[in-house]
């Protein structure tokens, strides 16, 4: 069993939010107990008393239950972790799970510590807790699995910081797709169909350069039972099934790093295609181009670009 400890700030804010939903008698009892603590003169004793009160009510009204239930169900983690800390997140994008190194020199076996970050409002929503934690804890399970081969740092891109950001985003999307696929098959996802649809939309936006092959690539990743870190990195660097120039992460015309090329190069007018070909003889429409280049070339060379001039 993974022993969980809770951040006092998270506990206090969650209990204060929950107070409005308590039955009147229970809310009154909580308020009377809390108000009495202001009479403690010594600051450290008063702070300790408040923390004890809030933790007691946190447990009394069951705010720990959904978190503890999800963590306890993950036997794959219990074999590799002993301790977990539940901390306060300020924003939704800060919520998640991670691992930190154990620094206790006296530990016989220094196992990493599980860190969960949740907003107080999320703690009050058991459905949100279950969906979020099962997804995030599968990230952690992969990180701990030697067969997955996780490495925290991705290979540096030749395109500098912008290229690194593109690669990290692709990797994140791929990993999330494989996780939700596994959760759907394990029945840990409450709405696997909805999850699949949401992941498809994100995958399609991120890997639009795949064109007609995008759906089949998504299905392969969503249905992948045993993905590895190396496979995810390789695909993020060069999405399989697309042309070499489209794999590079650069526009074949301006050579600037882009997350994806324009999804509809067929919008180019014949005059613009001809003009691009004169400047870039090796280019053809199948290679695509970024949206900025499409707009610039079309504005300059398109069949309607000189309409109204005389």
Q: pLDDT (tens digit, 9 = 90+) per residue, 223-238? A: 999 999 999 988 888 7
Least confident range of 7-21, 79-93, 121-135, 295-309: 295-309
Residues 109 and 232 in one domain: no
Mean pLDDT of 278-306: 78
The two structure tokens encoding residue 217? 């690539």
- pLDDT at 240 exceeding the cut of 70: no
Tell me the average pLDDT across 49-58: 97
- Between 239 and 32, name the one with better pLDDT: 32
Q: Are 112 and 220 contained in the same domain?
A: no
Q: Measured on CA atoms in the order 135, 140, 146, 148, is the torsion positive or negative?
A: positive
Tell me if 194 is assigned to some domain: yes
At residue 281, the pLDDT reads: 74
Q: Flag whether 309 is in a domain.
A: no
Question: Same domain for 274 and 198?
Answer: no
Q: Among the three residues 198, 222, 242, which one is the final residue of a domain in this structure?
A: 242
Residue 117, pLDDT score: 98
Last residue of a domain, one of 144, 173, 205: 144
Instruction: Tell how many helices (H) and how many strands (E) occur in the chain.
Output: 14, 4
Between 309 and 54, whose confidence is greater? 54
* Residue 72: inside a domain: yes
Are 9 and 139 in the same domain? yes
Alpha helix positions (H), the chain = 8-19, 24-36, 43-60, 65-73, 75-78, 120-123, 126-144, 160-186, 192-206, 214-222, 229-237, 244-247, 270-279, 291-301
Element (H, E) at 288: none
Whether residues 238 and 257 fall in one domain: no
Would 150 be classed as within a structural domain? no
Residue 155 lies in a domain: no
More confident residue, 46 or 195: 46
Residue 96 has pLDDT above 80, yes or no: yes
Indicate if 57 and 105 belong to the same structural domain.
yes
Calculate the dihedral angle through the C-alpha atoms of 278, 284, 290, 291, rounding to the nearest 10 degrees.
Answer: 80
124 and 36 part of one domain = yes
Q: What is the pLDDT of residue 180?
A: 93
221, 242, 263: which is the final residue of a domain? 242
* Mean pLDDT, the chain, integer: 86
Instruction: Check whether residue 8 and residue 112 sit in a common domain.
Output: yes
Average the pLDDT over 40-44 and give the result: 95
- 46 and 169, same domain (yes or no): no
Q: Over the stretch 245-273, which tens digit does the pLDDT of each residue have?
A: 444 567 777 767 777 788 777 888 888 88
The tokens of 80 are what?
């590799």
SS3 29: helix
Count of domains in the chain? 3
What tokens does 73 get? 């169900």
Q: Give the closest residue to 144 by CA, choosing from 204, 95, 77, 51.
A: 77
Does any domain span residue 152?
no
Same domain, 233 and 264: no
Give how far the C-alpha of residue 306 lies from the chain's centroid of Cα atoms, to the nearest Å: 46
208-225 average pLDDT score: 90
Core vs surface per residue 89-102: b (16+ CB within 10 A) or e = beeeeebbbebeee
Q: Are residues 70 and 122 in the same domain?
A: yes
CA angle 73, 198, 230 (to 5 degrees): 70
Name the more confident of 156 and 136. Answer: 136
More reliable by pLDDT, 101 or 306:
101
Instruction: Evaluate if residue 116 carries a pLDDT over 90.
Output: yes
- Residue 156, token pair as written in the block: 């540096």
Encoded tokens for 88: 């306060």
Q: Could you tell me which residue, 130 or 195, shows the higher pLDDT?
A: 130
Q: Which range, of 10-19, 116-125, 150-159, 188-197, averages the lowest pLDDT?
A: 188-197
Q: Does one domain contain both 168 and 140?
A: no
Percent pLDDT > 90 in the chain is 57
Instruction: Give the model's confidence band at 53: pLDDT under 50 very low, under 70 low, under 90 confident, else very high.
Output: very high
**How is residue 191 written in tokens?**
């709405």
Please say if the pLDDT value at position 190 is more than 70. Answer: no
Residue 202 maps to a domain: yes
CB 141 within 8 A of CB 74: yes
Nearest-angstrom CA–CA distance, 194 and 43:
50
Q: Does position 243 have pLDDT exceeding 80, yes or no?
A: no
Classify residue 151: in a domain, yes or no.
no
Which domain does 287 fall in, by range? 251-301
């Amino acid at each position: 069993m993974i022993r969980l400890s809770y951040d006092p700030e998270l506990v206090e804010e969650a209990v204060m939010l929950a107070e409005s939903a308590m039955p009147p008698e229970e809310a009154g009892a909580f308020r009377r107990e809390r108000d009495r603590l202001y009479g403690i003169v010594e600051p450290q004793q008063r702070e300790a008393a408040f923390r004890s009160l809030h933790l007691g009510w946190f447990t009394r009204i069951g705010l720990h239950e959904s978190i503890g239930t999800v963590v306890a169900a993950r036997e794959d983690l219990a074999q590799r972790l002993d301790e977990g800390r539940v901390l306060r997140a300020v924003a939704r994008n800060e919520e998640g799970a991670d691992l930190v190194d154990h620094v206790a020199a006296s530990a016989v076996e220094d196992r990493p510590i599980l860190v969960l970050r949740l907003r107080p409002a999320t703690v009050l929503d058991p459905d949100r807790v279950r969906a979020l934690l099962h997804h995030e804890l599968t990230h952690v399970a992969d990180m701990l699995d030697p067969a997955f081969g996780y490495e925290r740092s991705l290979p540096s891109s030749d395109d500098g910081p912008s290229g690194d950001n593109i690669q990290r985003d692709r990797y994140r999307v791929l990993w999330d797709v494989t996780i939700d696929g596994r959760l759907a098959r394990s029945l840990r996802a409450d709405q696997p169909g909805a999850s699949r649809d949401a992941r498809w939309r994100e995958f399609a936006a991120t890997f639009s350069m795949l064109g007609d092959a995008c759906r089949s690539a998504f299905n392969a990743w969503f249905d992948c039972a045993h993905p590895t870190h190396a496979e995810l990195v390789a695909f993020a660097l060069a999405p399989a099934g697309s042309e070499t120039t489209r794999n590079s992460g650069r526009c074949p015309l301006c050579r600037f790093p882009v997350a994806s090329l324009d999804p509809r190069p067929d919008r180019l007018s014949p005059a613009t295609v001809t003009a691009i070909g004169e400047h870039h003889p090796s280019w053809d429409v199948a290679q695509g181009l970024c949206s900025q280049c499409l707009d610039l070339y079309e504005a300059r060379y398109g069949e309607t670009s000189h309409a109204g001039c005389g």
